[in-house]
Chains A and B, each alone.
Chain A
Amino acid sequence: MSELFSRPLPKLIAVVAFQVLILLSVLGFREYTLLTRDTVLLKLQTTDPQTIAGSDSRPVRYEISTVDVAALPGDDEFMHYVYVELGERSDGTWQPLALHNRRDRSYDNAVLIKSDYSYYGGSVGRERYTLRYGIEDVYVPDDAAASLPSGSGHTIAVEVKVDRFGQPEPVRFLINGEPYELEER
């Protein structure tokens, strides 16, 4: 065996195989993060299902798309991203518990979701930021849109998978608890 690896070709093959394993371990870790994702339900600001119907609809706004930094615990200055720590409500939807400058959790059973941010406006005691999670360009496809309920007053939410790094991936709409197909633009 040792004589085999004293020859250059088997030695090279062994070393390169080791490097390939290391590269594959990155892929393996990604699979692990996908398998261990948390599921959260994010409520939309709109209550009219027709606003999410079809590929021509406008980007959605979540309840957590605007946050008041002054009203939430955690950091109040941010560098690159805002990490929103989410906690589950009794109705199954998720709300912001705290804001962080980095991937830190301060509550048990909380989920961290990553967002870009822009300053929205402030007044006495309020510092509002608009957050973008990269999951705003979602809609119900045209063929399924016909079955959407009409009118306002409905509870519309998006089921989202979030990995350990805060990367979200939208899965489906839930309108009044009923699942609807979701597509991304």
Chain B
Amino acid sequence: MAANAHTVAVDDETYVERLAHDVAVWQHEGLISAEQERAILSRIGAGEPRLVGALRMGWLVTAVSLIGALVLAGGVVLLFASQWREMPDWFRTAVVFAGMFAAYAGGYLLTYRYGMDRIGGALLLLGVLLFEAGLFLFADIYGLPLTTANDEQPAPQYFLLAAIGTLPLAYAFGSRIVLLFGIGNFVISVIFWLIARYAETEKADSVLIVIGVLGVALYAAGHLHAMRAAWEKFGEVYLFVGTVVTLALVYVFTFDEPWRSIIDDGIESYAAPAVVYVSIAIAAALVAAQFATRARDLEADIETGILAALLAVAAVVSTWPAWTGYAVVFNAVFFAAAAGIVTRGYLRGDERYVNFGLLLVAVGVLTRYVDVFWSLLTNSAFFIIGGVLLLAVAFGLERLRRTLVARMDEEASTGDTRARAPALHSGAP
């Protein structure tokens, strides 16, 4: 009960701080006037300028704390790397445990004794970083291989163990940054495992599909988190990672090279290994489960349809991979996804989706420009035309973005605040 009250208080505080930060951005962009900014701040009880400053500083403290944790962990690992061999095994083992315990104890004391959630959270992250570093250091101390059987990639099992050890901490203490770290480790372990297992076989290209399917599965898992109110905020992390992983693979497949390589390697139809179909089946089950548990509305239907279509494309591509036309298909998928994300941002009144979608459009256009014209134009013409094109794209995107955001704002001010409220409450993905 006490823990719930604490969580609610922290969420309220986070919301107020985020709002104080956002209204400053909106005012800077001309979406709201200085008077409207002050009115909003007064409404949340932060009308007094020094209080506003203090609220906005909260984000700075979070950012500085997280960077501090990352830098400190990096420094410790570098220290170990440079002095490591000279220390006796027992001392090195003790140092790993002592570092972890100190970070967790510090995080606990700062959070629960002194109410300094942000720095305490950063120390929890530091503990997790030291835990993962400890896995690799222990392997090094005790002579276990740090690389795969071909000695080319880091051994995936340590990333998997890091994910297994990290995820309970993320859920137990409601830390999205730790969750992001845990999911990231899981994704990396899958990628390295696939490379190690299939890199030297003719099936190497087709198993890349598994990474995209993993992205879809994570996305569906994100929606499944909505089943439990306490886990809802974790869902956003899964949605974010799922989107990034899937789009990263789609992006790779927008190039001709992977498809040419598949044809050159003589990969035939029906040659994909079982892991591809097993992963598609698992992802399909998760997509079906999230559809069954979600409230039925047009957005849920469309989203599920897109996820199912992506899995169908994955199944078709892995079964009949030898066709260069897939590059065009994946370009279409990439730009459709970008357009979909912009549309979603517009409909939800969430500027973050709009910005992310437009960023994808820019990346897609730039990539195709480089891909097509690098070999056709002289260097100077390539850069001059490219520069002009970039400026034109930036101009067009900024105009589009401002139009969309302004329309969102108009709709919000004419009373349709229902769509806007969740956007304000939701944290960064």
A104 and B112 contact, CB distance less than 8 A:
no
**Known A15-B169, A102-B151: A8·B138 in contact at CB below 8 Å:** no
B131 and A23 contact, CB distance less than 8 A:
yes
B interface footprint on A11-25 (CB within 8 Å = 1, 0 otherwise): 110111011101101
B96 and A23 contact, CB distance less than 8 A:
yes
A interface footprint on B146-175 (CB within 8 Å = 1, 0 otherwise): 010111100000000100110011001100
Q: Which residues of A contact B101 (CB under 8 A)?
A: 16
How many A-B contacts are there with CB distance less than 8 Å? 74
What's the minimum C-beta distance from B106 to chain A, rounded to whole angstroms?
12
What's the minimum C-beta distance from A161 to chain B, rounded to whole angstroms?
12
Q: In whole angstroms, what is the CA distance A99 to B104 when docked?
A: 47
Q: In whole angstroms, what is the CA distance A29 to B108 when docked?
A: 31
A interface footprint on B237-265 (CB within 8 Å = 1, 0 otherwise): 00000000000000000000000000000
B131 and A8 contact, CB distance less than 8 A:
no
What's the minimum C-beta distance from B193 to chain A, rounded to whole angstroms?
15
A101 and B172 contact, CB distance less than 8 A:
no
Q: Which residues of A contact B423 (CB under 8 A)?
A: none
Q: Which residues of A contact B100 (CB under 8 A)?
A: 16, 19
**Known A8-B173, A30-B144: A103·B152 in contact at CB below 8 Å:** no
What's the minimum C-beta distance from A103 to chain B, rounded to whole angstroms?
4
Interface of A is mostly: helix
Identify the interface centre among B135, B151, B168: most chain A CB within 10 Å of its CB: B151
Kindly state whether residue A33 has any CB partner on chain B within 8 Å: yes
Interface of B is mostly: helix
Kindly state whether residue B422 has any CB partner on chain A within 8 Å: no
**Known A101-B150, A102-B150, A103-B149: A20·B168 in contact at CB below 8 Å:** no
**Known A18-B168, A20-B97, A102-B150: A165·B144 in contact at CB below 8 Å:** yes
B143 and A30 contact, CB distance less than 8 A:
yes
Identify the interface centre among A9, A26, A30: most chain B CB within 10 Å of its CB: A26
* Among candidates A9, A12, A26, A102, residue contacting B138 with C-beta atoms closer than 8 Å: A26
What's the minimum C-beta distance from A83 to chain B, rounded to whole angstroms?
9
Kindly state whether residue A185 has any CB partner on chain B within 8 Å: no
Chain A residue at smallest Cβ distance from B152? A79
Kindly state whether residue B5 has any CB partner on chain A within 8 Å: no
What's the minimum C-beta distance from B76 to chain A, rounded to whole angstroms?
15
What's the minimum C-beta distance from B53 to chain A, rounded to whole angstroms?
30
* Residues of chain A from 7 to 56 with CB closer than 8 A to chain B in the complex: 7-9, 11-12, 14-16, 18-20, 22-23, 25-27, 29-30, 33
A26 and B144 contact, CB distance less than 8 A:
yes
What are 22 A-to-B residue pairs whose CB atoms are below 8 Å? Answer: A6-B3, A8-B111, A9-B108, A9-B112, A11-B172, A12-B108, A12-B172, A15-B169, A16-B101, A16-B127, A19-B100, A19-B131, A22-B161, A23-B138, A25-B161, A26-B139, A27-B138, A30-B142, A30-B144, A79-B150, A80-B150, A165-B144
Interface contacts beyond A79-B152, A103-B149: sample of 5 additional A-B pairs, CB < 8 Å, sorted by A: A18-B168, A22-B164, A26-B135, A30-B143, A80-B152
A: residues with CB less than 8 A from B are 6-9, 11-12, 14-16, 18-20, 22-23, 25-27, 29-30, 33, 79-81, 101-104, 163, 165, 167
